[in-house]
Amino acid sequence: MTSFESRLPAVASHGVDHGMDHGATDAAQSAPPPPAWTNIHAPDALRATTSDAERLAPVGRWRATRAYLRNPTAVIGLLILAVVLAAAALAPTLFPEDPLAMVDRPLQWPGQNPDYPLGTDALGRDVLAGLVHGARVSLLIGAAATLVSVVAGVLVGATSGYFGGRIDDALVKLVEVFQTIPGFILLIVTVAIAQPTIPAITLAIALVSWPAVARLVRAEFRALREKDMVMAARGLGYGHTRIILREILPNALPPVIVMASVTVATAILMESALSFMGLGDPNTISWGSMIGAGREMLRTAWYLSAIPGLAIVVTVLALNLIGDGLNDALNPRLSEGR
Amino acid sequence: MALLNVEDLTIAFPRATPVRGLSFSVNPRETVALVGESGSGKSLTALALLGLLPSGARIASGRVAFAGRDLTALKDRDLRAVRGRDIAMIFQEPMTSLNPVLTLGDQITEVVRLHQGLSRAAAKRRAVELLDLVRIPEPQRRVDEHPHQLSGGMRQRVMIAIAVACSPKLLIADEPTTALDVTIQAQVLDLLDGLRRDLDMALLLITHDLGVVAEWADRVVVMYAGRKVEEAPFAPLFAAPLHPYTRGLLNASPRLEEGHHHSLGPLLEIPGSIASAAAETGCAFAPRCPLVRAACRTRVPEPMAAADDHSVACPVTFTRESEHGLAVG
């Protein structure tokens, strides 16, 4: 009889009991009863019950962090980056002299002279000092270029994806213009026209990198703007700016963060390539310029190119590991314990 | 005076007209149910009231007067001030209507800070109050949780808390319980009804569930293929429905005392499926109507008053009932 009754919608029957069996839930109800309403049809409506299943969900704020830290390769990436960051930060204390200054006899191999553990280059400059100071330039340009390209890409992509229509058409065309030009050629031309200073190189790398961010953000926004939560936000009277920045952007950020970590790596590579070709800032030492300087002695003193090359490889690898780890941690479908 | 007065509302897409000439009103503190099957235009009507129609759709004609102001004539900026503050809306899917990355507190404080200009601390206190108002246990702790930590029923309670945060005069609930378990449905509807009384709101309840209508609605507007076919207070509509569609709906709902069960015999149904409103020549219900006459296929019936508060858009049943003196008062 009970199953029979529960199948029938209660039409025109004010008296029909709505819930199933209230006995058990009533007994479990310990919360003080809120003010009585005369219209209550379901006694258990007084207070929502908290089932154990609801409590099992992990606290959301640290879920991603914990998922990231459970991933050993991602932690290794983070450690390597921490070492590089420490080297860059401590460079002025560790090697107060100008890394471009000649300090000793040229072309000493690593280990030959305990004062210069990584040897000296063709002009007698300390390779270790160059490596540590080069980390500053590489990381600075990588981070700054990524910041500029992410900000520009998010602005363009969000506007384009959220509003759609003609704005979208125009902005997509703009992105396509940049994408039809080979990135590195554009970079070389831009740096060749402008002065080869660090800000100019940073902006030039950002100019090459932002279209990819814009496309990613646009795709995210196009998918997210159709969500019920956006309609609900509009129903609450929120304006477009508020919806873009506060409702959609936080949901679109995870893939952008992942992309940013890889963009830093790409920017470091681009800067190294520019410096290798002698298009970098001649007044600062960078890993790329060190490789470029060692190029002519590749057969006799290969360590001059190999050491800064290894630094680039390790740093870029670390950033990619971090990117992979973030991707897994920020994607709720891949990380466990959602 | 009616709080909300919809007059002759027509919603048009470039190639279809899903809502035609719809008129109804909602009085202060009243629960009006807008009933119809999928595709009858009831959700679109709700979106049109708030100016939230999907792109491509527009209000082709008609007025939506709310507290004396025509909402269709308002500028977007002015309409935004109405949404959330004077008219709030609850959507069908509580699982996707909350922002997954923000805490419940963030989402509630945002709306009260926007519309009521509360300080951060005052808004947080208000958020806890509101969670308590919708009977969420341990509101102090819950306020800092994320939506995925809540069940569907709890999320719908949070949606309701956000909707009533600014004490709106009208709450539109679009199928508020369709996505919920049957056992939770009554809880949520009781909550809505209780809040309606406590906060002096009117409630426009959009549903296809006659059980929901029977328990909670004061007045019922039945829609079919974008038109209002019958409007009456709850009791006369259920006791003596006039329109053949309404009769079919009520017959198709098995009643306990009649002892229908699918194992004993086929349940009643309305034959056919809802007609497209695209090429409307006569009554949209004519192809499925057991009482259809030739005239029904050529002329769209106008709503006629069978009693003071009971109107029906069917000349066949209207005249028959009147002739026999059976019109419901």
Residue A235: which of B50, B135, B186 has the nearest Cβ?
Answer: B50
Which is more confident, B278 or A278?
Answer: A278
Beta bridge partners of B221: B34, B231
Spell out which residues of chain B touch residue A6, defining contact as CB-CB under 8 Å: 182
pLDDT tens digit string along A1-40? 334 344 334 444 444 344 444 444 444 444 555 555 555 5
Can you give the pLDDT at residue B131?
92
Type of residue found at B278: A
Residue A12: which of B52, B111, B238 has the nearest Cβ?
Answer: B238
Can you give the pLDDT at residue B91?
87
Confidence of residue A69 (pLDDT cuts 50, 70, 90): confident
Spell out which residues of chain A touch residue B83, defining contact as CB-CB under 8 Å: 234-237
Q: Which residue in B187, B192, B249 has the most chain A C-beta atoms within 10 A of its own C-beta, making it the best mutation to test that interface?
A: B187
Type of residue found at A175: V
CB pairs under 8 A between A and B: 159
Type of residue found at B293: R
B211 in A contact zone (CB under 8 Å): yes
Where b means 16+ CB within 10 Å and e means fewer, A14-26 reads: eebebbeeeeebe
Between positions 101 and 130 of B, the ones with CB within 8 A of A are 101-102, 110-111, 114-115
A3 in B contact zone (CB under 8 Å): no
Residue B80: which of A4, A42, A237 has the nearest Cβ?
Answer: A237
3-class DSSP assignment, residue A307: helix
pLDDT tens digit string along A149-160? 999 999 999 999
- Give B291-305 as a 3 state SS string: CCCHHHHCCCCCCEE
- Partner-chain contact B84 A60, CB within 8 Å: no
A278: region left, alpha or beta (phi > 0 left; psi from -120 to 50 alpha): left
Can you give the pLDDT at residue B329?
37
Confidence of residue A81 (pLDDT cuts 50, 70, 90): very high
Residue B186: which of A13, A18, A236 has the nearest Cβ?
Answer: A18
B266 in A contact zone (CB under 8 Å): no
Residue A41: which of B149, B186, B239 has the nearest Cβ?
Answer: B186
- Give CA–CA dist B244/B313, Å, rounded: 10
**Closest chain A residue to B249, measured at CA:** A11
- Partner-chain contact B145 A44, CB within 8 Å: no
The pTM (predicted TM-score) of the whole model is 0.77
- Give CA–CA dist B293/B284, Å, rounded: 13
Spell out which residues of chain A touch residue B246, defining contact as CB-CB under 8 Å: none
The token pair at B46 is 């709700």
Q: Which residue in A21, A37, A55, A229 has the most chain B C-beta atoms within 10 A of its own C-beta, making it the best mutation to test that interface?
A: A229
Task: Decide if A137 contacts A131 (C-beta within 8 A).
Answer: no
Q: How many CB atoms lie within 10 A of CB B95?
A: 17
The CATH classification number of A63-330 equals 1.10.3720.10
Element (H, E) at A2: helix A2-7
Q: Please check the confidence at residue A85 and state whether its pLDDT lies above 90.
A: yes
A6 in B contact zone (CB under 8 Å): yes
The pairs formed by A39-45 with CB atoms below 8 angstroms and a separation of 24 or more are A39/B190, A39/B193, A39/B194, A39/B197, A40/B190, A40/B194, A41/B186, A41/B189, A41/B190, A41/B215, A42/A18, A42/B186, A42/B187, A42/B190, A43/A19, A44/A19, A44/B187, A45/B135, A45/B186, A45/B187, A45/B188, A45/B190, A45/B191
Per-residue pLDDT tens listing for chain B (329 residues): 789 999 999 999 988 888 888 999 999 999 999 998 887 888 899 999 998 888 888 899 999 999 888 998 888 889 999 998 999 999 888 888 898 888 899 999 999 999 998 899 999 999 999 999 998 888 999 898 888 888 888 899 999 999 999 999 999 999 888 888 888 888 889 999 999 999 999 999 998 888 888 888 999 999 988 889 999 998 888 888 889 888 888 887 776 666 666 677 677 778 777 765 555 678 888 888 888 888 888 888 888 888 888 888 888 887 655 555 444 43
Confidence of residue A216 (pLDDT cuts 50, 70, 90): very high
Chain B nearest-CA distance from A194, in A, is 42
Spell out which residues of chain A touch residue B52, defining contact as CB-CB under 8 Å: 231, 234-235
A240 in B contact zone (CB under 8 Å): no
Can you give the pLDDT at residue B271?
76
- Partner-chain contact B190 A250, CB within 8 Å: no
Q: Which residue in A7, A26, A236 has the most chain B C-beta atoms within 10 A of its own C-beta, making it the best mutation to test that interface?
A: A236
- Give CA–CA dist A148/A155, Å, rounded: 11
The token pair at A298 is 């590749």
B206: region left, alpha or beta (phi > 0 left; psi from -120 to 50 alpha): beta
- Partner-chain contact A5 B191, CB within 8 Å: no
Question: What does residue A287 show for φ and ψ, rounded to 5 degrees?
Answer: -60, -40
Residue B151: which of A9, A19, A54 has the nearest Cβ?
Answer: A54
- Partner-chain contact B84 A31, CB within 8 Å: no
Dump the DSSP string for A197-223.
-HHHHHHHHHHHHHHHHHHHHHHHHHH
Between positions 308 and 327 of B, the ones with CB within 8 A of A are none
- Partner-chain contact B154 A48, CB within 8 Å: yes
- Domains in chain B (CATH in brackets) are 4-223 (3.40.50.300), 244-254+278-323 (no CATH)
Nearest CA-CA partner of B6 in B38, B56, B54, B44: B44
Cα angle, residue B229 at apex, residues B201 and B261 outer, rounded to 5°:
90
* Residue A293, C-beta contacts closer than 8 angstroms, at least 6 positions apart: A121, A122, A304
> For chain A, where do the domains classified as CATH 1.10.3720.10 start and end?
63-330
The token pair at A300 is 């006799």
A310 in B contact zone (CB under 8 Å): no
- Give CA–CA dist A23/A71, Å, rounded: 47
Cα angle, residue A89 at apex, residues A83 and A94 outer, rounded to 5°:
90
Spell out which residues of chain A touch residue B254, defining contact as CB-CB under 8 Å: 8-9, 11
Beta bridge partners of B203: B31, B171
3-class DSSP assignment, residue B196: helix
C-alpha torsion B105→B111→B116→B118, nearest 10: 30
B56 in A contact zone (CB under 8 Å): no
3-class DSSP assignment, residue A253: helix
The token pair at A150 is 């992410």
Residue A231: which of B91, B214, B256 has the nearest Cβ?
Answer: B91
The token pair at B253 is 């709902």
Can you give the pLDDT at residue A26?
43
- Give CA–CA dist A335/A67, Å, rounded: 6
Among A120-124, A174-178, A186-190, A262-266, the minimum mean pLDDT is found in A120-124
- Partner-chain contact B256 A16, CB within 8 Å: yes
Spell out which residues of chain A touch residue B239, defining contact as CB-CB under 8 Å: 12
B218 in A contact zone (CB under 8 Å): no
